[in-house]
Amino acid sequence: MNRAADQPEPNPLREGLATRAVPQPCSIVIFGATGDLAHRKLVPALYNVAADGDLPPAVAIVGFARRKKSDEEFRRDLEEATRKFSRQAVRDEIWKTFAQSIFYHQSEFGDESGYKRLAKRLDEIDKDHGTRGNRLFYFAAAPDQFEPILKHLKAAGLNETCKGSWVRVIVEKPFGTDLASARELNRIVHNSFTEEQTYRIDHFLGKETAQNILVLRFANAIFSPLWNTHYIDHVQITAAETLGVGTRAGYYEHAGALRDMVQNHLLQLLCLVAMEPPTDLSADSIRDEKVKVVRSLRRWPRNEIAANVVRGQYTKGAIHGDPVAGYRQEQNVNADSQTETFVALRLFIDNWRWADVPIYMRVGKRLPKSATEISIHFKKAPAVLFNKDLHDLNVLVIRIQPDEGIALRIHAKVPGTSFHIEPVKMDFHYGTSFGKASPEAYERLLLDAMSGDATLFARRDEVEQAWAFIDPIEEAWHAKKDVPELFFHPAGSWGPEAADDLLARDGRAWRRL
Amino acid sequence: MPAVTETYSLGVPVEVGKIDHELKKLWLESEGAMTRASLMNLAVYSEEPGSLKKNTQLMARITENHACRAIVIEADCNAEEDGVDAWISAHCHVSRAGSKQVCSEQISFCLNGGCTTQLPNIVLSNLDSDLPLYLWWQQEFHDPMDPQLWTWVDRLIYDSRPWQDFQAQMRLVESAQAEAKQRIVLCDLNWTRLDKARFALAQFFDHPASHHHFAKIKKVRIDYASGFRSTALLFVGWLAGQLNWRSEKTVGENKLQFVGSSGRKIDIEMRQRDGEPIHEVAVTAGDIEFLITHAKCGDLLEISRGKAGGKRVPQLMPAGKNDPVSLMSEELMRGGPHHVYLHAINCVRELL
């Protein structure tokens, strides 16, 4: 993907060595550095990038959090977490040099003096480690802390760049809880940073197969002529997980599956599937096309929401034969919770390419298996010759996780003297064809942010348009009257029957995963 | 199934005319318990006695990360009678998901007698269709090169390190490339050997504020292991090609002088010592030294920059390995032509 405007002149010694934008030396400041995200994902990802030799030598990691801790204690905590969560085994000698560039900065998020001290410390790190005044601020703290952090960063002058240096900010989801709060959050961010400096992370976009959707569509001429309303009957997107709400009940009770998964991850996947070819591979060209998809999503009037969006909640049941509690019995969940743990949607993209092609999405916890897949169901061949009795469609399946790959279902004649036709599957598995393991999504995304490549990050208008689509559904669910029903389904089933009816009414059925 | 093996045997002997048939049988017998995977045809040619077994072992390891149809050929060009023996086997590995065996098939040939005439026929009639052909040539190239073979090769892999006459060999390769009338990518494992060191040095100069050091480089020291002088020279060629230096003079075998675009002189010192192929590189620009050295643990590079006697914050990065499997794996991960390599060899061609 392309270089950002603030990217430097190319290094002649890099020619032929790098096929991606080169990450720049910088200090990465993690707000909320003692939290789960930093320990489970961010620091293990940075360690892996370092162990693979992709981290520039002058990168410092500064953890910013409230708890009192020395640099050494912080390094020990991170080492323990990295040993536990890293995709590759931690090597002592690599960790030792990696850890030399990890620092801890104790401060309350609302304490102005803490940011002044931070500025001073970053200047010292620049001198000692050659980080050249480049700063990457990673917001891994709770969203309600974003405003004080941003305000104080600005007050301490940490949002300002010197000549030749850059400052970027990575914001973790949720990007608001509705359109109004997202706009407010964007306003707050933009008080301190420009849109070009803002990287909204959606880790689904860092997954290898998500990136491969664009390659599949735009590097293979065979799909391009078929990718439209003339040949596609419908599209299904499923994001299923066997896990329950776990320790996230506090957040999940307020969010629910629609906000937690659909507004961001699933709509991002839909954009990649449905977007027009971008004019080039620059971040904005791609995001321009993605936002058009969200903008084209048909908004349902209040009285049609129940017919097109099904919400459900799991009750007690079993996963892989083991009994599990219902959602309302989970810790920190209200006994009469109305939060949806399952959503199924019937969407339409009202543009030329996708006119009248239904997009069915479903997402849920405590479903029979964990799988995220997109399937493109092609229209039937004319009902003459072989197709009079055929009911199966050609299906192209893009498996996002696990077992990343692509499969195509076609029809073939069963060997024999009779003319019996059966569907067969051509299957491509990343893990089978490519021995090398894919990097974790956070590894890719952190490197992209250090390189100034915002392609895999959500832009302000994408986020806001997604909320504009989600808000009427949430409003209907939280209205005082005519509230669409919350359907219950046992854990370990594929959601409530109403979700099946959503497709059955159109003469279709969910794919068997 | 006897032909599916992890013990590096050549597998089942087959008649040359029935290879396809026997391969089909091999996979039928696996009854879906194994998945055949292939991204390329990887042919390896050697005239060294015993190479069939050695290369089978290499293929077993290469296919762990690079699914392919392996075509392993050992040739005895001086044999009195012409003849071909063939075997089929499969290299199977548990996939990353851990649930199934992923297998690459291998066809092995022992050619006796008229090697150059038999080789194209053997290779071309046993390709996995629609997949690129990578030919790993483990010999010095013979004159004349067979144009019939080169027209089918997508990537020609060789190691220039042991070549006695670099210029003559390169002329053969380049003439084959020209005759082939298609894009053959030249992949020199001696160049691949430099990947990590080049990467390590390059990253010092990623920030534009570092670029001014290029104009101040006055000395480069390269420590290399015995037998790797040509590798060190390729490194010099790379620097010269990318930084627009021109060769000025040589002082003895290991002291060279280049001239930068502004007329500035750059002294190159190459020192043979015990250690890794390229054990240490020190680039001095003004009063700053950029240093890459092999860490004590061997498979890591320690990189640092600083003034003489000043404080340094060293960092470790993967050093890469010098064994054929690692070099091949590295090479097979790459795509596209190697323009930088061609530029580098042109800068030091006469010294190689």
Q: Is the pLDDT of residue B1 over 60?
A: no
Q: Is the pLDDT of residue B182 over 90?
A: no
ipTM score: 0.88
Is B170 within 8 Å of B345 (Cβ atoms)?
yes
Helix (H, G, I), strand (E, B) or coil at A190: helix
Among residues A328, A299, A280, the alpha carbon closest in space to that of A474 is found at A299
Helix (H, G, I), strand (E, B) or coil at A172: coil
Reported as a single tens digit per residue, the pLDDT across B186-223 is 999 999 999 999 999 998 888 888 899 999 999 999 99
Q: Do A22 and B314 touch (CB under 8 A)?
A: no
Q: Is the pLDDT of residue A334 over 60?
A: yes
Q: Do B203 and A57 touch (CB under 8 A)?
A: yes
pLDDT of A395 reads 93
User: What separation in angstroms does the CA of B245 have from each of B236, B237, B269?
Assistant: 10, 9, 15
pLDDT of A1 reads 45
Q: Do A8 and B208 touch (CB under 8 A)?
A: yes
pLDDT band at B308 (very low <50, low <70, confident <90, very high): confident
pLDDT band at A2 (very low <50, low <70, confident <90, very high): very low
* Long-range Cβ contact pairs of B305-310 (< 8 A, separation 24 or more): B305/A130, B305/B204
pLDDT band at B17 (very low <50, low <70, confident <90, very high): confident
Reported as a single tens digit per residue, the pLDDT across A208-231 is 888 889 999 999 999 999 999 999
pLDDT of B251 reads 83
DSSP string, A69-90: --HHHHHHHHHHHHHHH-SSPP
Interface test mutation site (partner B, options A6, A9, A88, A97, max chain B beta carbons within 10 A): A97
Reported as a single tens digit per residue, the pLDDT across A163-200 is 788 999 999 888 889 999 999 999 999 999 999 999 99
Mean pLDDT (whole number) for A81-93? 93
Distance CA A283, CA A278 (A): 10
Reported as a single tens digit per residue, the pLDDT across A45-54 is 999 999 988 8
Q: Is the pLDDT of residue B146 over 80?
A: no
Mean pLDDT (whole number) for B81-104? 81
pLDDT of A8 reads 57
Tell me which residue in B102, B242, B311 faces A15 most closely, judged by beta carbons: B242
Q: Which residues contact A80 (CB under 8 A, 6 or more apart)?
A: none
Chain A residue numbers with beta carbons less than 8 Å from the beta carbon of B243 are 12-13
Q: Is the pLDDT of residue A67 over 80?
A: yes
Across A38-42, A182-186, A472-476, B94-98, least confident range: B94-98
Q: Quick one: closest CA in A to B314, which residue?
A: A97
Reading the block at residue A198, the tokens are 């803002």
Residues of A with CB under 8 A from a CB of B: 8-9, 11-17, 22-25, 50-53, 56-57, 93-94, 97-98, 100-101, 128-130, 132, 164, 402-403, 429, 431-437
Q: Do B313 and A128 touch (CB under 8 A)?
A: yes
Amino acid identity, residue A390? L
Chain A residue numbers with beta carbons less than 8 Å from the beta carbon of B300 are 93-94
- What is the percentage of chain A residues whose pLDDT exceeds 70? 96
Q: pTM for the whole thing?
A: 0.83
Q: Do B198 and A94 touch (CB under 8 A)?
A: no
A-B contacts (CB, under 8 Å) = 109
- What is the percentage of chain B residues whose pLDDT exceeds 70? 94
Interface test mutation site (partner B, options A11, A88, A440, max chain B beta carbons within 10 A): A11
Q: Do A51 and B203 touch (CB under 8 A)?
A: no
To the nearest whole Å, the CA of A178 is away from the closest chain B CA by 38
Q: Do A16 and B315 touch (CB under 8 A)?
A: no
Q: Bridge-partner residues for A315, per DSSP?
A: A490
Tell me which residue in B200, B206, B297 faces A11 most closely, judged by beta carbons: B206
Is A118 within 8 Å of A64 (Cβ atoms)?
yes
pLDDT of A48 reads 94
Reported as a single tens digit per residue, the pLDDT across A441-471 is 899 999 999 999 998 999 999 999 999 999 9
Residue A8 or residue A135, greater confidence: A135
Helix (H, G, I), strand (E, B) or coil at B197: helix
Interface test mutation site (partner A, options B38, B213, B315, max chain A beta carbons within 10 A): B315
Show which residues of A are catalytic: 265
Helix or strand holding residue B306 (H, E) = strand B300-307
Rg (CA), chain B: 23
Chain B residue numbers with beta carbons less than 8 Å from the beta carbon of A52 are 318
User: How many helices (DSSP H) and strands (DSSP E) are in chain B?
Assistant: 10, 18
Distance CA A58, CA A128 (A): 9
Classify the C-alpha dihedral A479-A485-A491-A496 as positive or negative: negative
- Mean model confidence pLDDT for chain A: 90
Q: Is the pLDDT of residue A7 over 70?
A: no
pLDDT of A263 reads 94
Q: Is the pLDDT of residue A437 over 80?
A: no
Q: Is the pLDDT of residue B99 over 80?
A: no
Mean pLDDT (whole number) for B287-291? 93
pLDDT of B2 reads 43
Q: Is the pLDDT of residue A355 over 90?
A: yes
pLDDT of A124 reads 93
Q: Quick one: closest CA in A to B303, which residue?
A: A57
